[in-house]
């Protein structure tokens, strides 16, 4: 398992994962901060330093498996200016959205390095950056606590139905690990990730002509 190919892949995969997770959690923290909540600032989460955001189990899952997660950013919606529900939804959406933005930027850079650089490292690096950011974005939109999708869904549901989501919080990590280990989550998300990857590569292909 831990042969030369594994270590070469890890040299690319690890920095890509750190970039994806750091921007994802920073986007949550910064959005909450801009909405008036200083909680992420006090907890040291307004940073791109990966050490502030890594969750040991989630990081191992994404290194050795298809999906994983970082340490959730703690927020207090009561501090938000305006609608607390909309604020919570915006904070939750910010993480996946940041990953999709990085995926598009990485796709542009992928086209450029393929056009100008014959070194295999950078094309592989940027391709991994595209794929992992897309995967992280859509994985986090799965409506199982503590993922962002559960918080977005809770914001969309009528007030009396939100307890269904909240009651799942203590079982969420177990459910996620089961979905990953059984391959169920991969079966659902992989076609979507491939489709979005192909779409992003297609719309950014104009940069291959430069």
What would the pLDDT profile of 41-57 be if each residue is shown by its tens digit? 999 999 999 989 988 87
Query: Domain ranges in the chain?
Result: 4-209
The CA–CA distances, whole Å, from 18 to 63, 126, 178 equal: 10, 14, 24
What DSSP string runs through 165-208? HHTTTTTHHHHHHHHHHTTHHHHHHHHHHHHHHHHHHHHTGGGG
Distance CA 65, CA 131 (A): 14
Q: What's the chain's average pLDDT?
A: 89
Residue 87's pLDDT is what?
97
Classify residue 85 by burial, with Cβ atoms within 10 Å: 0-12, 13-18, 19+: middle
Secondary structure class of 68 (helix, strand, coil): coil
Check whether 14 has a pLDDT greater than 90: no
**CA 118/CA 53 separation, integer angstroms:** 34
The model's pLDDT over 62-79, given as tens digits with 9 standing for 90+, comes to 777 666 678 889 999 999
- Give per-residue pLDDT as tens, 127-176: 999 999 999 999 999 999 889 999 999 899 888 787 777 777 888 888 88
> Is it the case that residue 7 has pLDDT exceeding 80?
no
For residues 210 and 206, give the distance between their C-alpha atoms in angstroms, rounded to a whole number: 7
- Whether the predicted pLDDT of 36 surpasses 80: yes
Report the catalytic residues: 25
- Segment 184-205 shows an average pLDDT of 95
Tokens representing 130? 């595209």
- pLDDT exceeds cutoff 90 at 4: no
Nearest to 97 by CA among 58, 157, 141, 44: 141
- Whether pLDDT at 25 is above 90: yes
């Amino acid at each position: 398992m831990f042969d030369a190919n594994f270590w070469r892949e890890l040299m690319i995969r690890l920095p890509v994962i750190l970039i994806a997770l750091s921007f994802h959690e920073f986007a949550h923290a910064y959005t909450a901060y801009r909405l008036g909540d200083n909680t992420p600032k006090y907890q040291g989460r307004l940073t791109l330093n990966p050490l502030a955001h890594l969750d040991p189990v989630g990081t191992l899952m994404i290194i050795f498996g298809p999906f994983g997660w970082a340490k959730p950013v703690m927020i207090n919606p009561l501090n938000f200016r305006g609608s607390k529900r909309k604020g919570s939804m915006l904070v939750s959406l910010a993480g996946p959205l940041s990953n999709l933005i990085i995926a598009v930027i990485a796709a542009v850079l992928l086209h450029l390095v393929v056009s100008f650089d014959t070194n295999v490292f950078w094309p592989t690096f940027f391709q991994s950056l595209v794929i992992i950011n897309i995967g992280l974005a859509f994985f986090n939109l799965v409506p199982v606590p503590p993922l962002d999708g559960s918080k977005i869904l809770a914001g969309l549901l009528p007030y009396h139905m939100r307890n269904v989501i909240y009651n799942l919080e203590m079982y969420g990590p177990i459910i996620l690990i089961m979905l990953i280990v059984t391959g169920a989550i991969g079966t659902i998300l992989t076609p979507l990730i491939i489709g979005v990857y192909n779409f992003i590569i297609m719309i950014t292909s104009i940069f291959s002509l430069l």
